[in-house]
Amino acid sequence: MDELTEKKALEDLREELHQHNYRYYVLDEPVISDFEFDQKMKVLMALEERFPQWSDPNSPSVRVGGGLSPGFTTMAHGYRMYSLDNSYDLSDLSDWEQRNLKLSGQDSFSYICELKYDGASINLIYENGALVQAITRGDGVEGDVVTANIRTVSTIPLKLKGDYPKYMEIRGEIIIPNQEFDRMNQERLARGEELYMNPRNTASGSLKLLDSKQVAQRPLVCLVYGMAAPELDLLDQEEFLVAAQSWGFKVPNTFAKCSDLSQVMEYVNHWSEQRHELPYETDGVVVKVSRKSHQEMLGFTAKSPRWAIAYKFPAQQVSTVLEDVVYQVGRTGAVTPVGQLTPVLLAGTVVKRASLHNADQIALLDLRIGDRVYVEKGGEIIPKVVGVDLEYRKPDAKPITFAENCPDCGTELIRVPGDAKHYCPNTWACNVQITGRIEHFISRKAMDVQGLGSETVILLFQAGLIANPADLYALNPQDLLPLERMAEKSVSQLLLGLEASKKQPFHKVLFALGIRYVGETVAKKLSSAFGSITALARATQEELVAVDEIGDRIAASVISFFQDPRQVAWVQRLADYGLNMEEVSQEDAVFSDLLAGQTIVVSGVFTLFSRDEAKELIQKHGGKSGSSISKKTSFVLAGSDMGPSKKALAESLGVPLVDEQAFMQMLQKV
């Protein structure tokens, strides 16, 4: 065979295996036996080994995994991944509908209902029909790149079929079917290993395994529900679901069209009962305004699309015995009572512990040790105790008296007025608090220190080397090498990890400080509002609460943090070690205010600049870029490929279209 023929044979075989794969996993209609499939795969792998020059990252052979990943990089989604607002009854739904009707000036909407698949969300980026990147949801703006792992998931097409747009981001949920999950746990049981909690956590954990061969062993399935594609003009959500199926994705056929909310409720009631018959877990229904043009009118809030809402099924409940209560101290000193339960099966998982939240909650439920309690699992991982079955109460059952002393250091606990939690006030000498703060500081969403984990933190603390996060940066090889389990390699990895962490931006440093109530989002808000640690430390209560979403509680906590000289001292040391204590503004240069007060929607593709560059230009000239066309839109920056439905919408609202040349001319008037 000459080279060309060989190449063609290789490509044909790849194509054939893609087809078999699709028939087996997506359609569930295999046409060849597993044995034949394996034989063909072996032939393909042999050919690929012989002709490395014709390798293809999307070959069917990548399904088996291989190659260790040193860790995951984060990457921004092209289009944000939103969460969903929740609703629990018809009145929530009708409030939502009324708001939307008013906002868009429509008389009615039709809806598509889908099940809400309970797994880990994934963003699949396709270019010219090939999977190029897969990113976890992360915080919605950016997530972890897990492409090699995702390529092993057989229900995800590596090459699309039919007629697809040049660029698109497909949104799906990675799940593990219940049966497969049970099988995994039975195998673990047989090996004497600890059982997995539930399918959702196991699915999301699987995406972060470092060895894609291991991922390939996991029974992961991708169910597709949405997409973002700039050039694709679809009439409605149903058309999308059908198109996605035709490209080769698995879209469950459980979706339904509903012409009003009473039909939506029928769907909800049907699946609220029938969901236990499904092969996978669902915790509700997602109701979506079906027409694309309506969706565009409604747009998004900061967190979620206005055109979609989740309807949560009532939580599942079981009853079991409360055997004991233990107390846990966190890094902020907050003490959480945890109920120890007689193990019981709830929604497919064995539950042994349940959060009791705080003393008020215990009093409210009037709990006693030995009570038969109702345990419920909502969206959260740890189930909660929601009530007591008084029929079973023993006459001598003693009420629970909340711990008076810290379970770790023995210090007497305190309660601050207005806060339901008990705290251990021994901030500077309570071991779990000290190590907890350092563990938080190095964690991935904070300083993301590579080469350092919880165990090492405890080791270093016990060796007297660290008592606060700043001490980490003073570590040196002489101190570390004598320690047990600290070989030269791990020492240099740790020190490199610390050095690299100095590049983390200010808002991550701020989050890492562990100021009570200052979570990731609040840290971002504070960082962009004040710009530096010095300005934040000086901020008054009024200045703090003037910031969007910052209330009295957060403000007071920030102020009391910076009033404590011991806190200031270690934060100052962090600054001395070179951590970022100021926000570096990306848009420092402003070109003009030619577009001040204007909201511009960018649509289609351009030759002079990319869409992101267009948005940057708008910002640098003082304008705002909007996500969807509405009456408030000043004009649409229209590229080629702008969809006809968008054009019609702009026209009907009297919003002018401006092409890229005209736009550039507009900006020349400086």
**Could you tell me which residues come within 8 angstroms of residue 161 by beta carbon, excluding any fewer than 6 positions away?**
22, 246, 247, 248
Beta bridge partners of 25: none
Residue 312 within binding range of ligand AMP, rule CB under 6 A: no
Cβ closest to ligand AMP, residue 96 vs residue 473: 96
Cβ closest to ligand AMP, residue 83 vs residue 454: 83
Beta bridge partners of 287: 113, 309
Choose the one of Zn ion, ligand AMP, none that binds residue 84, judging by a C-beta under 5 to 8 angstroms depending on kind: ligand AMP
Q: How far is the CB of 250 from ligand AMP (least distance, A)?
A: 13
Assess contact for 324 and 398: CB atoms under 8 A: no
Q: How far is the CB of 447 from Zn ion (least distance, A)?
A: 24
Assess contact for 59 and 15: CB atoms under 8 A: no
Choose the one of ligand AMP, Zn ion, none that binds residue 430, judging by a C-beta under 5 to 8 angstroms depending on kind: Zn ion
Cβ closest to ligand AMP, residue 178 vs residue 619: 178
Binding residue for ligand AMP, selected from 143, 165, 226, 604, defined by CB under 6 A? 226
Cβ closest to ligand AMP, residue 115 vs residue 486: 115
Pairing verdict, β 349-355 and 422-423: unpaired
The span from the CA of 146 to the CA of 150, in Å, is 6
Assess contact for 189 and 250: CB atoms under 8 A: no
Identify the CA nearest to 407 among candidates 466, 342, 337.
Answer: 337
116 belongs to the catalytic site: yes
Please identify, among the stretches 112-120, 196-204, 209-217, 533-541, the one whose residues bind ligand AMP according to the rule CB under 6 A.
112-120
Q: Residues 245, 282, 182, CA angle at the centre, nearest 5°?
A: 100
- In the numeric block, which tokens belong to residue 37? 């499939």
Q: Which long-range contacts (CB under 8 A, 24 or more apart) does 507-512 make?
A: 507/583, 508/445, 508/446, 508/447, 508/448, 509/447, 509/533, 509/574, 509/579, 509/580, 509/581, 510/536, 511/445, 511/446, 512/440, 512/441, 512/442, 512/443, 512/446, 512/447, 512/469
Assess contact for 452 and 491: CB atoms under 8 A: no
Choose the one of Zn ion, ligand AMP, none that binds residue 383, judging by a C-beta under 5 to 8 angstroms depending on kind: none
Residue 116 within binding range of ligand AMP, rule CB under 6 A: yes
Which one of 116, 288, 421, 646 is the catalytic residue?
116
Q: What residues make contact with Zn ion under the rule CB under 5 A? A: 406, 408-409, 411, 424, 426, 430
Site for ligand AMP in 172-191 (CB under 6 A): 173
Choose the one of ligand AMP, Zn ion, none that binds residue 121, judging by a C-beta under 5 to 8 angstroms depending on kind: ligand AMP
Pairing verdict, β 384-388 and 372-377: antiparallel
Q: How far is the CB of 404 from Zn ion (least distance, A)?
A: 12
Choose the one of Zn ion, ligand AMP, none that binds residue 406, judging by a C-beta under 5 to 8 angstroms depending on kind: Zn ion
Please identify, among the stretches 78-86, 322-330, 409-417, 577-585, the one whose residues bind ligand AMP according to the rule CB under 6 A.
78-86
Assess contact for 126 and 179: CB atoms under 8 A: no
Site string for ligand AMP, 267-286 (x = CB under 6 A): -------------------x
Identify the CA nearest to 203 among candidates 179, 181, 171.
Answer: 181
Residue 225 within binding range of ligand AMP, rule CB under 6 A: yes
Q: How far is the CB of 112 from ligand AMP (least distance, A)?
A: 9
Binding residue for ligand AMP, selected from 73, 83, 534, 560, defined by CB under 6 A? 83
Applying CB under 6 A, the residues found at the interface with ligand AMP are 81, 83-84, 114, 116-117, 121, 137, 173, 225-226, 286, 310
Which residues are identified as catalytic?
Answer: 116
